[in-house]
Structure 1
Amino acid sequence: MKVILAENSGFCFGVKKAIDTAFNEVEAKNEHKLYTLGPLIHNPQVVEELKQKGIDVIEDLEEVHSGNVIIRSHGVPEKIYREAEEKGIILTDSTCPFVSRIQKIVKEYYDKGYQIAIIGDPNHPEVIGINGWCNDDGVILQKTENIEKLKEDKPTCVVVQTTMSLVLYEEFIELIKHKISDLQIFNTICLATRKRQDAARKLSKEVDAMIVIGGYHSSNTQKLVTICKEEKPNDTFHIETVDEIDFEILKKYETIGITAGASTPHKVVNEVLEKIKNLL
C-alpha cells in the first residue's frame, strides 16, 4: 500500500497565528484570566488542550466582567471592540489577516453607501463577523437563489468567505453580473484555501481512496470532503482523529491519499500517517 499526503494540507497561517497567540498568552503568565470568544478554531482536540491550560471558551462578552479575551481567527463584529472597551476587558486580536482585509473592505464600501453582498454561510462565525462591519446589513448569499435579495439599482460590493469553493464563487459572480451593473468584486478566498482545495482535488484523482482529517464543524474541512467525494464518492473518509480509522476497510486499497483542514494540527496528521504505515 502507498500513502500520499496532499502537497498543501493542515494548519494555515491564520490558524497558526491564533494558536501561537493563545499559547504565548498562557506562557506570559499575566494576572488576567484568559478566554476565547467562541472556540479558537474548529478543532475539539485543540480547544480541549487550551482548556487544560486555563483558557475557557465564552460565547458572549456578557459572560465576563474582566480578563483577557482572545478573538479567534474567524474575527468578530466591529461592535465587540466597543463593548470590550466599555467593560474594561482586554482584547487580544487573533483575527486572520485575510479575514481582517475583508472586514476593512466591507466597512469602507458600506460607508460609501454600497450594498454589501457576502458569499458564504450565514451561520459561520467568519461571515457573522464580516456582516458586523456593515451594521449587519449585508446580504448573505449561501444559495444562488439568494441573489434575488439584492437590489438591482444599488452599487454593490461583493466579498466571499475565505474558505469558499472557487468554483461556487465563480458561479455566484456570473449570476450577480447579470443582475447588477455597478459592481465592486473582491475574490477574498484566501490563497492557502485555494491551494489546499486544488491539491486535494489533484490527489483524489490519483489515488484509490481519500482520508480527510479535520473537525466535523470545520467549514474548510467540509469543503475538502466535498471536493474529494467528487472524484471518490464512495471512497472518501472524513475523520477527526486517528482512532476513527477503519483499517479493515483501508486494506482493500492500493493507494490512499490524505489531506487535512486548516484547523488540523500537524501532529494529528502525522499520527494518522504513522499508524497507517505501521499497521498496513
Structure 2
Amino acid sequence: MRVVRARNAGACYGVQRALDMALAAVEGGGAASTLGPLIHNPQVVADLAARGVRAVEHVEDVHAGSIVIRSHGVTPAVRRAVASRGLPVVDATCPHVARAQKAAAQLGERLGRVVVVGEAGHPEVEGLVACAREAGAEVFVAACPADLPACLREPVGVVVQTTQTRAALDAVEAALRARGVNPEVKNTICSATSQRQEAAAELAGEVDAIVVVGGRNSSNTTRLADICAASCPRTYHIESPDEVDPAWFAGCESVGVTAGASTPEAHIAAVVARLEAL
C-alpha cells in the first residue's frame, strides 16, 4: 500500500514558536504554567507537563515560575490579571491571532458592531470577542449564516477565527450582503491553515483512504477531517499510531496522511511508519 503525505501538513509557525518559547522558559529547571493547554494536542500537552510546563485553568492557580500565554491568545482582562501577578510572562500568542485581535478591536472601535466568524466558546474566539467588546462594540459570533441575528444592521465589521475555512467566511459575508448589509471584512484566516486545507482536499481526492493526525480537541484538525471526508469516505482522525486499525485499509492501494497545525513532525512520522509497516 502506497502512503502519501499531504504537501502541507503538521505544526505551523505559531505552534512551533509557542512550543519553543514554553520549553525555553523551563530550561535549567525552571517552572512555567500555561493558561489552558498551550496547543490543542493532548499528547504534546502531556509531554510538556512531564518537562515542567503545566497547564492551569486560572491565573490565580500560578504562584511561582513563568506564566505562558498560549498560542490561542487570551482576553484583555486575562492579560491584566496576568500582569497583576508580578511573575515573568511569556507571550506565546500566535502572531496571526494577535493580528486578528487587533483587527477586531479596530473594527469595534470604528464601526460599533462586529461579527466574529468562528466557533463560540473556542479560546481564540473568546479573545476576539473580548477585544471587540472592550473597544465598545456589540459583538456576534457566527459559525454559519444561520447564527447571524435578524436585527443586524450597518455599519458592521467582520473578523474571522484564524483556523476557519474561507468557505465559512464567504458564506457569512454573502448572507449579510443578501440582507442588504455591506460589511467591512478583515480576512484574518492564517495562510498556513488555508494551505493545509487545500492540500488535504487535493490529497483526499487522489487516495483510497486518508488518515488525519492531531488532537480531537483541535478545531483546525477536526476541520481537516471534515474536508477530507467530503471527498474520501474512508477518512480516519487519530491522535496516535496506536489507533491505526489495519482493517480500515482493506482493498486500498493508497492511503494519504495529513495533520493539523498542532501536530509535531515526530507524530506524523510515527503514523507514516505505522502505515508503511502494514
Unaligned 5+ runs, structure 2: none
1:143 is matched by which residue type in structure 2? Answer: C
Partners of 2:107 and 2:73 in 1: CA distance: 19
CA–CA separation in structure 2 for the residues paired with 1:248 and 1:109: 51
Matching residue of 2:235: 236
Measure how far apart 1:81 and its partner are.
1.7
> Aligned partners of 1:2 and 1:62: how far apart in 2?
51
Deviation per CA, 1:210-250, whole angstroms, max 9, x where unpaired? Answer: 111110110001101101110112x1111100000001332
Aligned length: 275
Amino acid at match of 1:35: S
Change in Cα spacing, 1:16 to 1:215, as seen in structure 2 (3 Å) is: same
CA distance in structure 1 between the aligned counterparts of 2:156 and 2:151, rounded to whole angstroms: 9
Using the alignment, how far apart are the partners of 1:211 and 1:178 within structure 2? 38
Is residue 2:77 matched to residue 1:76? no
- Return the alpha-carbon distance in structure 1 between the equivalents of residues 166 and 104 of structure 2: 20
Shift of 1:179: 2.9
**Distance (whole Å) between structure 2 residues aligned to residue 150 and residue 268 of structure 1:** 46
Q: C-alpha distance in 2, partners of 1:150/1:178?
A: 14
CA deviation profile, 1:57-83 (whole Å, cap 9, x unmatched) = 111112224431101110000112211
**Match for residue 21 of structure 1?**
21
What is the CA distance between 1:272 and its match in structure 2? Answer: 1.1
The separation in 1 between residues aligned to 2:59 and 2:89, in whole angstroms, is 11
Q: State the alpha-carbon separation in 2 of the partners of residues 67 and 264 from structure 1.
A: 27
- CA contact under 8 A between 1:78 and 1:133: conserved in structure 2? yes
Could you tell me how far apart the structure 2 residues matched to 1:266 and 1:150 are? 46
Measured in 2, the distance between the counterparts of 1:221 and 1:121 equals: 14
The within-5 A match list for 1:1-280 is 1-27=1-27, 29-30=29-30, 33-135=31-133, 137-149=138-150, 151-152=152-153, 154-179=154-179, 181-233=181-233, 235-277=234-276, 279-280=277-278
SS for the counterpart of 2:10 is coil
Contact 1:102–1:159 (8 Å) recurs in 2: yes
Alignment check: 8 A CA contact 2:73 2:98 kept: yes
Whole-angstrom distance in 2 between the partners of 1:222 and 1:128: 19
CA RMSD of aligned residues (A): 1.6
Change (3 A) 1:245 1:165: same
- Tell me how far apart the structure 1 counterparts of residues 142 and 203 of structure 2 sit (CA, whole Å): 30
Hey, what's the Cα distance between the residues in 2 that align with 1:91 and 1:179? 45
Residue identity matched to 1:22 = A
Q: What amino acid is aligned across from residue 141 of structure 1 in structure 2? A: A
SS at match of 1:139: strand
Matched residue SS, 2:131: coil
Residue ranges of structure 1 left out of the alignment (5+ in a row): none
Partners of 2:150 and 2:35 lie apart in 1 by: 31
- Cα pair 2:117 2:168 within 8 Å, conserved: no
Task: Report percent identity of matched pairs.
Answer: 38
Distance in 1 (alpha carbons) for counterparts of 2:180 and 2:142: 15
Per-residue deviation, residues 166-201 of structure 1 (Å, max 9, x unmatched)? 112211111112335452101111111111000000
- 173-182 or 200-209: which moved more? 173-182
8 A contact 1:159–1:186 mirrored in 2: yes
**What is the Cα deviation at residue 131 of structure 1?**
1.2
Greater than 4 Å deviation, 4+ residue runs:
none
CA distance in 2, matches of 1:118, 1:15: 22
8 Å CA contact 1:66–1:88 kept in 2: the answer is no
- Between stretches 5-14 and 128-137, larger displacement belongs to 128-137
Q: Is the 8 A contact 2:25 2:66 kept in 1?
A: no
